[in-house]
Amino acid sequence: MPYTETPGSRVPIRMWADPHTVEDAAMGQLQRVTMLPWVHGVAVMPDVHYGKGATVGSVIAMRDAVCPAAVGVDIGCGMTAVRSTLTAQDLPDDLRRLRSELERAIPVGQRAHNRPVDPGRVYGLRTSGWDEFWREFDRLAPTVQSRRERAARQIGTLGGGNHFLEVCVDDEGAVWVVLHSGSRNIGKELAEYHIARAQRLPHNKDLPDRDLAVFVADTPEMVDYRRDLFWAQDYARRNRDVMMGLACEVVRRQFPGVRFPQWISCHHNYVAEETYGDTDVLVTRKGAIRAGRGDVGIIPGSMATGTYIVRGVGNEASFNSASHGAGRRMSRSKARKTFTEADLVAQTQGVECRTDAGVVDEIPAAYKDLSQVMDAQRDLVEVVAHLRQVVCVKG
């Protein structure tokens, strides 16, 4: 669908969602962010919904400033997908053993590895840059300096909530491994530290929403935030790389000779330096992927609605962005009150996954219709492949 612009804003809010279907709380967040004098433009993806601090599914372009709450606390959260040489016919009818082995190899929830994973021993992992990466840890904010050992043991771990690790089959029968995770607790601590620091700055005193506190260019606070932000984004990417390597090793043990010829990765909670026209901006994508012309991205749905591999068409009206998933249509607490374990069993038929009370808030019905979300952004991305999960690991 073509975008619509909401009236009454200081800068345009271009929406790839029907404004009448967006909850009032999210619309209020979007309107307030346009009041910031540094904002160059806002694009809203079809998976938009209310989020803590800033709207999920929003793309905010700022000149000479950045809002840490608009990135979210899971800095660098994103997706990785790997296509294998296996086909659906290679998979056994009973996939419980495969799920069990994946859960054994990849700590979930708040768990971590007993000792840091050696990148040199992980299948298919690039080993360059790790020493420099960890040396940079010593330059991070003082608040996390005691967290190095835990951060090292959480590399290669999934986390909880909407994070997942899946085995999927595409429409042509190829088997994929797909995962969704971010910067774990170290990213959260860095985000919370910098959000609180921004809120104490004098230029943020009279903002319409204290969650919209920003750092401005050419200040020590901005320098510190950018250093920690980009390190956390790198941490998130490395975390997914290690996890994917461990997961592929599980698959290799069960299916000797399998190869993994295609590896795709993308952030969807992050900041990037970009230029539109003659304007340099910092683009914050919270719940959005980059979809510049030719960019390959990943858009998941829920525990039973699969994932799309997409290629960006380069629509600059959206700041070269697209949705990061289906997006929630109800809160976790409402989902737990609305649905039962029996509902979850019924809605995940055909998927080897958890169906206990601990993941009822991730039930597919708590999410928007993924096909409608994809239809609303046909001018942002083209579909490369559609995957259906057969195994889903949740934290």
DSSP state of 38: T
Q: What is the pLDDT of residue 2?
A: 80
CB 188 within 8 A of CB 159: no
DSSP alpha helices (H): ranges in 305-352? Answer: 332-338, 341-347
SS3 content of the chain, % helix, strand, coil (to 5): 35, 30, 35
Per residue in 172-203, pLDDT (tens digit) is 999 999 999 999 999 999 999 999 999 999 99
Per residue in 3-34, pLDDT (tens digit) is 999 877 789 899 999 998 999 999 999 999 99
Q: What is the pLDDT of residue 6?
A: 86
Q: What is the pLDDT of residue 280?
A: 97
Query: What percent of the chain has pLDDT above 70?
Result: 99
* Radius of gyration of the chain, Cα coordinates, nearest whole angstrom: 20
Q: Which of 364, 279, 371, 373 is nearest to 324 (CA)?
A: 373
Q: What is the pLDDT of residue 10?
A: 86
Phi-psi region of 231 (alpha: psi -120 to 50; beta: other; left: phi over 0): alpha
CB 168 within 8 A of CB 300: no
Phi then psi for residue 246, to 5 deg, are -65, -40
324 is catalytic: yes
Q: Is 300 helix (H, G, I), strand (E, B) or coil?
A: strand
CB 393 within 8 A of CB 355: no
The pLDDT-based confidence of 128 (bands split at 50, 70, 90) is confident
Query: In angstroms, rounded to a whole number, what is the distance separating the alpha carbons of residues 79 and 164?
Result: 10
- Active-site pick, 163, 267, 324, 386: 324
pLDDT of 395 higher than 90: no
Query: What percent of the chain has pLDDT above 90?
Result: 94
- For residue 136, which amino acid is it? E
Per residue in 306-328, pLDDT (tens digit) is 999 999 999 999 999 999 999 99
Query: In angstroms, rounded to a whole number, what is the distance separating the alpha carbons of residues 263 and 387?
Result: 15
The pLDDT-based confidence of 87 (bands split at 50, 70, 90) is very high
Q: What is the pLDDT of residue 52?
A: 86
Q: What is the pLDDT of residue 124?
A: 85
Burial class from Cβ neighbours inside 10 Å (0-12, 13-18, 19+) for residue 9 reads: middle
The pLDDT-based confidence of 1 (bands split at 50, 70, 90) is low
Phi then psi for residue 162, to 5 deg, are -90, 10
Better pLDDT: 53 or 59: 59
CA distances for 222 relative to 99, 226, 351, angstroms: 43, 6, 45
CB 284 within 8 A of CB 68: no
Q: What is the pLDDT of residue 127?
A: 81
Burial class from Cβ neighbours inside 10 Å (0-12, 13-18, 19+) for residue 25 reads: exposed
Q: What is the pLDDT of residue 9?
A: 78
Exposure on the CB side of residue 267, measured as CA atoms within 13 A: 26
Per residue in 205-262, pLDDT (tens digit) is 988 889 999 999 999 999 999 999 999 999 999 999 999 999 999 999 999 999 999 9
The DSSP bridge pattern shows strands 215-216 and 65-66 to be antiparallel
Residue with tokens 């690039």: 126
Query: In angstroms, rounded to a whole number, what is the distance separating the alpha carbons of residues 148 and 138?
Result: 9
